Structure 1
Amino acid sequence: MDAARYAVVGAGLAGASTAWHLARRGHDVVLLERSRPAAHDGSSHGSARILRYAYPDQLYVDLVVRARTLWSELEATSGRTLLTPTDALDVGELREPRLLAEVLARAGVPHELVPVAEARERWPGVAADTEVLRHDGAVLDAEQTVLAMVGLAQQHGAEVRTGFDVERVTREGSGFRLHSADGQVLDAEHVVVSAGGWLPALLRDLPLPSGFLGRIPPLTVRQEQAYHFPYREPALWPTLIHKSPAISVYSLPGGRDADFRGQKVAEYAAGPVIPSARDQDGRIDPANRARVTDYVREHLPGLEPEPYAETTCLFTSTPTEDFVIDEVDGLTLLSPCSGHGAKFAPLLGGLAADVATGEGGIERFRLSRLPARA
């Protein structure tokens, strides 16, 4: 019977990071993936995610600061370029740029508040409707990041098994047995489940105590929709978060996903809710396409208001958009997405490894602070 000390389920950003951190600490690790690392039907594929510091919540700003150091280490040790620096802009009545600036100031993150007229001059492709918070951000390549962390985990002795679609986990003595859909089996002393959009369907097949299971917040899986709009003229575009009473939008250079010729634009958390990742169908809602195109026409004059490519992806969110990183009896549950987890990727595995090995953790991400659900 195959066996490992730590089995990590899911080779997306969080799972790959966990395998890397556990392996670099000298642990015996097997990383299990249903298809391949950074699979295209998960949440960690593609070349364009936003790295930004701006949050209204001090905890997350501080975590970005910690993560940014690890991004530099990951690029240096892997030899891969993972970040493309760019301006990061936050704008809109509901985005509250001044509040964000106060939080960044407390964290010592350099930033500036730019008046509307000046912002329109500096970033003519963006029709700012409020003052703008600007700080140094980046576009991160999610797929290359996964591959970098998987490669480093393997260098530290981790084993990676693809084609192992975990169907259930059972208790076996003092450890666990992981069963795949096609009959494969692996024993492990400890299990870290980082299954992304597949987690909601897998929960009922994990050996979790009822008290722990009852505190897991509802996990909402959305099939989000994103569109690539061509640049009218070549330019170095910023990332953008825009929240108004009418719409919440994020936008960023599309990178390799957009053939390096367009901006990725999407309405935040507007896709249909599905039971789990297994239920995604990849369909685009024409009403959503029209709404985002209207937004581009009004607010992003530097883009041609007709998308040349479109795609879907998955968000797996808690009601508060806080992460879940907690452990019970040797099984660690890891759900650090909620549509904003990618920027923390090199750090997430360290946080998960701390919890899995009993070396610490962030109390706010533990389930013990939450009331049991009826």
Structure 2
Amino acid sequence: MRTTVDTVVIGGGAMGSAAAWALARRGRDVTLLEQFGPGHRNGASHGATRNLNLAYSDPHYVAMLAESVALWNELESDGGERLLARTGVVNHGTDPRLGDVQAALLAAGLRAEFLAAAEAAERWRGIRFDQHVLHMPDGGQLNPDVALPVLQRLAAGNGAVIRHRSRVVELAILDDGVRLTADADGRTEVLTARQVIVTAGGWTSKLLAGVAGLPRLTVTQEQPAHFAVTDDGAVWPGFNHAPGQGAEFAGWYSPVYGMPTPGEGIKAGWHGVGPVVDPDRRSFAPEPQQRAALRDYARRWLPGVDADSLTDISCTYTTTMDENFVLDRIGPVVIGAGFSGHGFKFTPVMGRILADLATGEGPAPAIFSASRPGVR
């Protein structure tokens, strides 16, 4: 079967769903192909919580934060679903950039205040603080398990075609566009399109090998966990903690992020230090040493949880060497990649930028170029 369409989006995670939503609301013909079924757990866009962490000072990211907050509000209104729990986010520890973050957020009209450790401990007694704390009241937790269906439903309402269980197995560049071969529920389908948006997460490098030059993308299997709450009266914000360096902190793998997940406990995890994996050959099993270190961290820094009562989570990160995203167009191929670890909060803005690239309405910031130096 051969079908001709205007724009195909490959990958129905957060960014692909947002790209389809942004294009459809502009009246563009768009078809979204997702290799797995709705609500799958094989990539990076599942689960009930992601922190809307506002701790950026780079002007590109701060501008996107302000736009994101407005667009999430719009999506909540249009979709009729609660997407953001406004708990606030606190960043604490040895991060030297917090002063710059506060200044940048205040200049952008976003709230940010420093608190002494004692005051923070009084407000959020489930967390131990030993240094000053940057409190960002406009932050909170986004819900991917609700947001993705909302984005896809709104896209479909504006004419987008959403196809799950359609795995693209070949992509070829033509003189006037692209040809895609997809395995759709056991059927082979060939689509031709004027252009394609690739938002395939950990599968991006495989899909575009020999088709478009990319920065190096590293896929890792990450293993946060939900810890059982022991202090039912504690109030929990989202949090990010840089516990320090040196012998006192031996065994910590990275800064820690965390947040409350209603009905599941307090989520906490290391940031981007899991084993490198092939996304088609993952074990989904936690690495024992990192799991043990995370329990030790919870025992020391999260007095409001039971460090010995945890439920493991498995997800993937796909990251560039500089941790900036890839947002670019190469011929008829628009690329959105490298979002893991801090991209979800920007989802609706990424959709807008990818739609701009597809329609020619504007370039992405140069820091997201696929050909920028230092990321090969």
Question: What range is the shorter-chain TM-score in?
Answer: over 0.9
Aligned ranges for residues 290-369 of structure 1 at < 5 Å? 290-361=292-363, 362-369=365-372
Q: Counterpart in 1 of 2:118?
A: 117
Structure 1 residue 325: deviation in Å?
A: 0.7
- Deviation, structure 1 residue 267: 1.1
Distance 1:371 1:295, change over 3 A: closer
Which string of whole-angstrom CA distances, capped at 9 and with x for unpartnered residues, describes residues 302-323 of structure 1?
A: 1111133111101100011101
- Map of 1:263 onto structure 2: 266
Distance 1:75 1:347 in 2: 15
Match in the other structure for 2:141: 139
CA–CA separation in structure 2 for the residues paired with 1:160 and 1:196: 18
Matched with 2:237 is 238
Following superposition, the deviation at residue 95 of structure 1 comes to 5.5
Residue 175 of structure 1 is matched in structure 2 by 177
Whole-Å separation in 2 of the counterparts to 1:298 and 1:319: 31
Q: Secondary structure at the match of 1:270?
A: coil
Tell me what 1:161 maps to: 163
Match of 1:4 in 2: 5
d(CA) in 2 for partners of 1:305, 1:366: 42
Query: 1: CA distance between counterparts of 2:331 and 2:264?
Result: 50
Q: Which runs of 4+ in 1 moved over 6 A?
A: none
Once structures 1 and 2 are overlaid, which stretch shifts more, 19-28 or 93-102? 93-102
Aligned to 1:221: 219
Cα deviation code 1:65-112 (max 9, x no counterpart): 101100011011111111111020001113543232222223231111
Aligned length, in residue pairs = 361
1:14 CA drift (Å):
0.1
- TM-aligned CA deviation for residue 368 of structure 1: 4.1
SS in structure 1 at match of 2:298: helix
Matched residue of 1:221: which SS? strand
The alpha-carbon deviation at position 229 of structure 1 amounts to: 0.8
In the TM superposition, what are the counterparts of 1:78-157 in structure 2 within 5 Å? Answer: 78-94=79-95, 96-136=97-137, 137-157=139-159
**Percent identity between the aligned chains?**
36
Instruction: Check conservation: 1:226, 1:311, Cα contact below 8 A.
Output: yes
Q: Distance in 1 between matches of 2:302 and 2:3?
A: 55
The aligned residue for residue 185 of structure 1 is: 190
- Quote the Cα distance in structure 2 between the aligned partners of 1:108 and 1:84: 20
TM-score, length-scaled by structure 1: 0.92
For 1:25 and 1:230, locate their aligned partners in 2 and report how far apart those are by CA, in whole Å.
Answer: 45
In structure 1, stretches of 5+ residues that fail to align are none
| SS of corresponding position for 2:73 | helix
Unaligned regions of 5+ residues in structure 2, if any? none
Contact 1:10/1:34 (CA < 8 Å) preserved in 2?
yes
